Amino acid sequence: MRLVEQPETQAVGRALVERGVRTVRLVGHGSSDAAASYGVYAFGLLPGWTALRDSISLTVYYDAALDLKSSAVIALSQSGQTPDVVEYATRARSRGALTIAVTNDEGSALADVCDLTLPLAAGPERAVAASKTYLNSVAALLLMAGFAAGRADEVADGVRATASLLDETIPPLAGDAARIATAFAYVGRMYVIGRGLEYSTAREIALKLTETCRIAAEPLTATDLVHGPIAAVDSLVPVWTIASRDATLHAVKDAAERARGAGGVLVASGSAAAEIHGAPYRLPVPEAPAPLYAPLLSVVAGQLFSAALARQRGFDADHPERLTKVTLAP
């Protein structure tokens, strides 16, 4: 996997440690923002650093006078051209932050304004809806956190092992996703439930269902579901659950049981899909080498399902209507 081996990955990891970073601020839109949700956990669990998805508006629109000297800013943009992400990185660098561009275009505007660039090395992006660049963004954040924790070799080995599992998993999973998708041809709304590390997965799957299938899909944590949204669950609002074998599994199982009790039709995905009782549809994936790697596997089930469902509904999943590759945020 090129992302593991490239010298830029090591350079970014060293810079994070040498700068004495105290806070990691992650910014992005769409799939990049979903990946940023994962970064909060990667940096929190590996080096034990405070990481957060920062407000772009606070800096770009309100011009808040934040002291960023002890911060690292990780700006994620597949194209590297998103205007407000570029502007945020520009201002953050001027205020003392170490700025790192995570992008698939090394010659982009974002790469130009940042101190360092970590190329995603995902190859040409032929589709508007991100898939491989999302996976590589998650892997990039995991590798950076591994370097920061002094566990670079261990994490790199885990990423390689997970990539091998993906190669084996995708062909049969694609067939299963296509078969299951036929039952969802007329669905208009869905909830996608994840918790902890898999909340990023829930956000990405919900985004894929929305942009490629025109389903109003909402990502929720397992706890969020019971604080209001459960009232909208019935037989016409399926609930997608992402169940991985980690410390949050009990919360996901409880949320699934509540959704089933409300009449919701369950889709169970993840390495612990078999533990979601009463789910008529399942898209299990292999167990990852450790929980931190699980989102790299579990998101693929949702990506493949979304692609299959879009085709069945007569939509072009690669070129959704009214969407472009570069996010032009208002």
Enumerate the active-site residues. 325
Helices 199-213 and 294-312: crossing angle in degrees, nearest 10, is 20
In 124-237, beta strands by DSSP E: 189-194, 216-221
Residue 302 structure tokens:
């949702």
Q: Are 158 and 289 in contact (CB under 8 A)?
A: yes
Q: Are 192 and 218 in contact (CB under 8 A)?
A: yes
User: How far is it, in rounded angstroms, from Cα 101 to Cα 78?
Assistant: 10
User: How far is it, in rounded angstroms, from Cα 225 to Cα 244?
Assistant: 18
Q: Are 271 and 298 in contact (CB under 8 A)?
A: yes
Residues 77, 292, 152, 123: is their CA dihedral positive or negative? negative
